[in-house]
Amino acid sequence: MACKWLAALKEISPRIARVALLVNPDTAPLKGTFYLRAFDEAARMLGVEPTNSFVHNAGEVETAIAALEQPGNSGLIVAPEAFTTNNRELIIALAARYHVPATYGLRQFPVTGGLLSYGPDTVDTVRRAATYIDRALRGDNPGELPVQAPTKFELVVNLRTAKALGLNIPESFLLRADEVID
């Protein structure tokens, strides 16, 4: 996922030279390191400098995002986890204030005003979970049911946010999007 997030961000903002991965190690999988290896590899492949921004509170979020404004040509990837989701309005507002293009792993972010997201289609995931519930209610042992990964992913782009950041999103990118918010 980290590679997809970074590639999408680089495609719509090709001048990006440095990207931070924002995550709270207290609430994220594997203490915030779950995405790091893929993020670092993707950054090398795309010629950008990766930065890890481990944050624990709102003040640290602002410090991390404000630091991206100073050198310019910076971007932000916000890992999908409990802390970042609960603080999405703050993160989106700070990314706008400091003019930092950001991508997210959950569609709630661009719907709330963030730039773009790429991640599992949560409606499809919940719909598929219903079959598990049905099987459990019919007597299957839930502990013996196979773990399922998401199979449907969606790209959501917020054009208002792109315009506010001065980004011209390529038509080819918009055609691949599952949803474009005007």
Please report, for the chain, the start and end positions of each structural domain, with discontinuous segments joined by +. Answer: 2-120+152-181, 121-151
Mean pLDDT of 143-161: 92
pLDDT of 139 higher than 80: yes
In this prediction, residue 125 carries a pLDDT of: 85
Q: CB–CB of 55/94 below 8 Å?
A: no
Condensed to tens digits (0 to 9), the pLDDT of residues 1-52 reads: 999 999 999 999 999 999 999 999 999 988 888 999 999 999 999 999 999 9
Secondary structure E strands in 121-167: 153-158
Mean pLDDT of 99-108: 96
Pick the CATH number of 2-120+152-181 from 2.102.10.10, 3.40.50.2300, 1.10.10.10, 3.60.10.10: 3.40.50.2300
- Whole-angstrom CA distances from 178 to 87, 152, 155 are 25, 11, 5
Condensed to tens digits (0 to 9), the pLDDT of residues 116-134 reads: 999 999 888 888 888 888 9
What is the phi-psi region of residue 167: left when phi exceeds 0, alpha when psi lies from -120 to 50, beta otherwise? beta
pTM: 0.90
In this prediction, residue 129 carries a pLDDT of: 86
- Whole-angstrom CA distances from 84 to 23, 55, 129, 171 are 7, 9, 24, 30
